[in-house]
Amino acid sequence: MMLPLVEVGLTLAPLLLTTPILGRYLWRVFTEQSSLLDRLCRPWEQRLWAWIGVDPQQSMTAGAYLRSLLAVNAVTAILSAGLLSLQGWLPLNPTQRSPLRWDLALHTIVSFVTNTDQQHYSGELSLSDASQIGVIGFLMFTSAATGLAVGIAFIRGLAGQGLGNFYRDWLLSLTRVLLPLSLILAVILLALGVPESLAGVAIAQTLDGATQAIARGPIAHLEAIKLLGENGGGVLAANSAHPFENPSALSNWLEAIAMLVIPTALLDTYGRFLGNRRQAWLLLGLATGLLLVLVGLAVSSEGQGNPGLQTWVQGPNWEGKEIRFDWVQSALWSVITTSTMTGAVNADLDSLMPLSNLATLFALFLQVIFGGQGLGAAYLVVFVLLSIFVTGLMVGRTPDFQGRKIEKPQVVLASLILLVHPLFVLIPSAIALSQPVVTQTLSQAGFHGLSQAIYEYASASANNGSGLEGLQDDTLWWNLSTTVSLLGGRFLPIAALLALAEGMGHKPQLPPTAGSLRSDTPLFTGVTAIVIVILGALTFFPVLALGPIAEALQLYR
């Protein structure tokens, strides 16, 4: 048991160094303090603002911020859809890939616009290099920048500084954060053996004399933004289990850290904006604690192996895993990728033990164990606001946050944010499981089949993108129904978050009194953790009981 603890510790320990450094950098970028990239970027940024007629210094209302966000996302979607529809006629298409079927193309565009990157297609068999770069790679950057901009606007609003300007926040997210960090990581991945090529497939002769076509592509730079931007979509169908995307134990360690580096840093940035780094680090400890609990569940479950195979195979469950990573790293990665809403996989999630799937599903349900790009920190603070309100009522303290009272409008918006996710998971799942033509797409009947359907919608609504790939998801039903969950799970919470931040920011900040409830103590952080787990359990326990829990009881009886 000592070795798994060491492996988990080596993955998480570097975050203690990167979190304050990158957190401070993000704070400086979004408070307009000088950075190394300003001299390079500001001249052409000023020309861009003048050309499109935008004043980047003008703070927006929640409505204006949301309209600008939707407009930018609509433009990126239309441009990307146009390029994808022309795939068969554009260059960089050596294997002559045809345009995608309309429902699959719609799902793909919406999936990448929403930072979900749920793939109902096989990358090397469906997309040309031009589509990988001009559509998939482009949307990986723009969607991640959208999430980061919203996260900063939410934090800024809570601090009473106004929401800011979406166009400015979005551009800064691209030019100061995502592009430079991705460039650094891509160069490192190139050095570790990840290819970056436009040469098309490589033809090789096998030992028995057959011919094999080996897919290649512009992988290194897409792998970098896939992980740093919490995208998750792979150039290759095997995703980060493929040696071209993740060639070694060293690259696997680095890529696991890359999924966590921005979400953890954003919590430190939150503390700097609000002038309360103590609370930020307590929330970081809360998220890390929840992560470790789920990692412990997954590692112990995989380590015990499959009891149904113990007569023939002793030891851990190796099914669906890469030997070059080992089963511990596969279990750890699976929890990290669902906790950060990245969705990249280095193992077959459908081959995990039932309790490991319980851990991944619970992470998707909560959405606050670091969470999605920019939005995870916001969702975590929403739970803090609800915890303050509930606890304040119970003990007779004033429900306020940073000296600003929490009243009915804020509670309604916070509740709406948390209810959107189960709405777009449970309702479509119930409809899908009631249709025989849909249940035929599940690889198994019974408890595991239910988990496959629930996971697909949870992944879509949480903007994660991973899946239990025994599901035959490239059908008209799955493409269209998950598209609804993709859109609803992305943009409805964003609208409510902006309105919540604006409402809190307009409230007068009062000095703390003897009746104020402090939210930056270990005790209150523990209460918040309990509220998170209870709300998550109450909302989703029935489907967990009928899915992975029932499957585990059946397996271990």
Strand partners, 401: 404
Which residue pairs from 389-394 have beta carbons closer than 8 angstroms and sit at least 24 positions apart in sequence? 389/414, 390/531, 391/517, 391/524, 391/527, 392/517
Kindly state the percentage of the chain with pLDDT values over 70: 99
C-alpha to C-alpha distances, 69 to 19, 26, 64, 190, 262, nearest whole angstrom: 28, 20, 8, 34, 21
Overall number of domains in the chain: 1
How far is Cα 98 from Cα 396, in angstroms, rounded to an integer? 65
pLDDT at 394 over 90: no
pLDDT per position as a tens digit, 23-49: 999 999 999 887 778 888 888 988 988
- Tokens read off for 519: 């939210």
Confidence (pLDDT) at 217: 87
In this predicted model, what pLDDT tens digit does every residue of 101-149 receive, in sequence order? Answer: 999 999 999 999 999 999 999 888 899 999 999 999 999 999 999 999 9
pLDDT at 515 over 70: no
pLDDT digits (tens, 9 = 90+) for 421-448: 999 999 999 999 999 989 999 988 889 9
Mean pLDDT of 401-405: 85
Better-scored residue on pLDDT, 330 or 52? 330
pTM of the model: 0.94
- Looking at the predicted structure, is the pLDDT value of residue 224 above 70? yes
> pLDDT value at position 2?
63
Residue 1 predicted with pLDDT over 60 = no
Distance CA 165, CA 146 (A): 12
Give yes or no for residue 310 having a pLDDT over 80: no
pLDDT, tens digit, 9 for 90 and up, residues 331-356: 999 999 999 999 999 999 999 999 99
What separation in angstroms does the CA of 512 have from each of 37, 104, 150, 271, 522?
Answer: 40, 54, 28, 18, 18
For residues 82-98, average pLDDT: 87
Rounded to whole angstroms, how far apart are CA atoms 336 and 352? 15
Q: Is the pLDDT of residue 191 over 90?
A: yes
Burial of 103 (0-12, 13-18, 19+ CB in 10 A): middle
Is pLDDT above 90 for 230?
A: yes
Range of the domain at 242: 2-556
User: For 188, how many CA atoms within 13 A lie in the half-sphere containing its CB?
Assistant: 18
- The distance of Cα 535 from the centroid of its chain, to the nearest Å, equals 20
At residue 271, does pLDDT exceed 70? yes
- If phi over 0 gives left and psi between -120 and 50 gives alpha, with beta otherwise, what is residue 372? beta
Distance, CA of 290 to CA of 494 (rounded, Å): 24
pLDDT at 362 over 70: yes
Measured over the CA atoms of residue 321, residue 549, residue 373 and residue 532, the dihedral's sign is negative
Is residue 302 within 8 Å of residue 356, measured between CB atoms? yes
What kind and span of H or E run contains 401?
A: strand 400-401
For 151-170, the pLDDT digits (tens) are: 999 999 999 999 999 999 99
SS3 for 76-138, per residue? HHHHHHHHHHCCCCCCCCCCCCCCCCHHHHHHHHHHHHCCCCCCCCCHHHHCCHHHHHHHHHH
Q: Tell me, what's the pLDDT at 39?
A: 85
What's the Cα-to-Cα distance from 16 to each of 5, 268, 275, 282, 311, rounded to whole Å?
Answer: 17, 11, 20, 13, 44
The neighbour count for residue 275, using CB atoms within 10 Å, is: 9
| Dihedral sign (CA 472, 442, 455, 220) | negative
How big is the CA angle at 46 (ends 43 and 49), to the nearest 5 degrees? 150
